[in-house]
Amino acid sequence: MRKNIVASFTALLLGIVVVPIAAVAALSSEYVTQEASVTYDDLDIHSVAGARVLYARLRRASREVCDMDSAFSTHRLPDLADAKRCYSETLDNAVATFDSEELRTVHAG
């Protein structure tokens, strides 16, 4: 059986790119759910090496879900702040779903 995590990420996208900045404040309580699949069946997540590889995959998925590349390309501070907050919260939540002390250690830096 293939191990696979489908992480539901609540992303505070707040209308990035689509809604003019004046309307963002009105939408601040609106959430958009994005999903990403991260496979780890090829990893021993209880080893430091495996945890590092999984962490890299989780970081990549978090960047994708939070549309970090788009936020950085706009050079708009509200977009950047929202994307960074989304990324941080998403990665924290993804790491918390695993029972791996090694992964938590890698995440803590």
| Dist CA 36 CA 44 (whole Å) | 21
Decide if pLDDT at 30 tops 70.
no
- The pLDDT of residue 21 is 24
Q: What percent of the chain is modeled with pLDDT above 90? A: 25
**pLDDT (mean) for 5-20:** 36
Residue 76: which region, alpha, beta or left (left: phi > 0; alpha: psi -120 to 50)?
A: beta
What pTM was estimated for this model as a whole? 0.68
Tokens representing residue 9 in the block: 């990420």
CB 94 within 8 A of CB 9: yes
Most confident of 27-36, 61-70, 91-100: 91-100
CB 25 within 8 A of CB 79: no
pLDDT band with cut points at 50, 70 and 90 for residue 32: low
Handedness of CA 54, 56, 57, 61 (dihedral sign): positive
| Dist CA 30 CA 107 (whole Å) | 28
DSSP secondary structure, 38-51, as one string: EE-TT--TTSHHHH
Q: What percent of the chain is modeled with pLDDT above 70? A: 62
